[in-house]
Amino acid sequence: MSYAPTQAQLRGALSTLGVMTGIAIVSLSLFIFITHSWRGIQGFITRLWNMIFGILIILSEIDLDASRSALSYLSFLTTDFGRGLFFIFVGTMVLANEWWEILIACFSLLCGCLHITSTMMCAKPDSSAVPKPEAPPKRGSGTTTGPNPFNGGGGGADIEVPPASTGGGYDSNYGAAATPSDNPFSRPPEQRI
């Protein structure tokens, strides 16, 4: 008997891996700040941004009211695809020379790829709740009455749709007897300008 994890279990494992990656990014940035090993002003600013990005990663992975309100202005972090791209971006920002920085960057890149893959592979839980539209009545199946959308919302007279066999139709309105077109390519080659 084979064991296949459910979609909720996969998403839970992905969120756990994402939170651990965010904590590792924040810890790495704090370690570099404490040891003063940022190597110039550019390294200092990069580590500051990495700390902010790590906090955003943690907030995007946990499901709390405070994190939802904090991320309301960063709506790309509420989707798996946007979160995956953000993980990939942060992974490239964290990438540096030391082995632990490379390891954390690899985890961030892995989380990003897994989030994008889950976007393509996992169905959303509420996708089956979307009602399918009803098919319109077939033309020619008899007369159909319904509310008139042209009289202010259907509160008045009904319209009748005649069957296709009774007069009218596309050919009589738009067929060969219709007015000639100004399009030169609709004319025979000898009549083109």
Q: Determine the Cα–Cα distance for residues 153 and 175; give it in Å rounded to an integer.
A: 33
For residues 175 and 31, what is the distance between their CA atoms, to the nearest angstrom?
77
Cα–Cα distance measured from residue 27 to residue 98, given in angstroms and rounded to the nearest whole number: 15
Q: What is the Cα–Cα distance from 20 to 107, expressed in whole angstroms?
A: 9
| Distance in angstroms (rounded) separating the CA atoms of residues 34 and 82 | 32
Over pLDDT 70: what percentage of the chain?
Answer: 62
Q: Extract the tokens encoding 108.
A: 């961030």
d(C-alpha 193, C-alpha 190), whole Å: 8
What is d(CA 170, CA 11) in angstroms, rounded to the nearest whole number?
Answer: 53
Q: 28 CB contacts (<8 Å, ≥6 apart)?
A: 50, 94, 100, 101, 104
**What pLDDT score does 190 carry?**
73
Find all residues with CB under 8 Å of 15, minimum gap 6, and list them.
61, 62
Q: What is the pLDDT of residue 79?
A: 85
Residues of the chain with pLDDT under 70: 1-2, 4, 122-185, 187, 192-193
Note if the pTM is more than 0.85: no
Beta-strand ranges (E) seen in the chain are 144-147, 158-161
